[in-house]
Structure 1
Amino acid sequence: MNTLTIKIPPSLDSALAQASARAQVTKSELVRRAVAAYLAAGAERSAGPPSALELAGDLVGCFGGGPDDLASNPRHLDDFGRP
């Protein structure tokens, strides 16, 4: 097994010690699990903030009855902005 040395602030070390005691594992084991979980979740995370589609994806396509060419036909904007 390889060794990795990191520097952490005292408050994080204290929290890590408490969490490892609760889980009854070493601090190294707890950090290994945390890194593995982070990397596994990384495959599902996008590089930046979530897109509007990701946030409201379950709502896309839930409404019907509108024109099929709403996004592509400029005729639908003829009266846009007029009272």
Structure 2
Amino acid sequence: MNTLTIKIPPPLDAALADASAAAQVTKSELVRRAISAYLAGAKARSDQPSALELAGDLVGCFGGGPADLSSNPRHLDDFGRP
């Protein structure tokens, strides 16, 4: 098993010591479990489709509006005014 050395502030170390005592595992084991849970959650989040993927068939399906609002300076007449 590889070794990883980190620096943590005293309050976090105290909380880690309390949590490891409550779970009756070493601090190292508790940190390993926390890292595993974090990485599993990150993988699950990355497997979820994006909003574009979910609504991709709707993107660009509406027409009739101006092609580009910035092409007509009249659209910016009240910009920045209360």
TM-score category of the 2 structures, normalised to the smaller one: 0.5 to 0.7
Following superposition, which runs of at least 4 residues in structure 1 exceed 3 angstroms of deviation? none
Query: What amino acid sits opposite 2:63 in the alignment?
Result: N
**Gaps spanning 5+ residues in structure 2: where?**
56-60, 66-82
- For structure 1, list consecutive stretches of 5 or more residues without a partner in the other structure: 61-70, 78-83
Indicate yes or no: 2:23 matched with 1:5.
no
Corresponding position of 1:43: 43
RMSD: 2.8
Q: Are positions 1:72 and 2:65 aligned together?
A: no
Cα displacement string for residues 26-78 of structure 1 (whole angstroms, at most 9, x for unaligned residues): 000000000000011111235xxxx7x4xxx8xx8xxxxxxxxxx5131xx5x
Where does residue 16 of structure 2 map in the other structure?
Answer: 16
Separation in structure 2 between the aligned mates of residue 24 and residue 31 of structure 1, nearest angstrom: 13
Number of aligned residues: 59
TM-score, scaled relative to structure 1: 0.58
Identity of aligned residues (%): 67
AA aligned opposite 1:15: A
**If each structure's helix is expressed as a fraction of its own residues, which one has the higher value?**
2
How do 1:44-63 residues align onto structure 2 when only pairs under 5 Å count? Answer: 44-46=44-46, 53=51
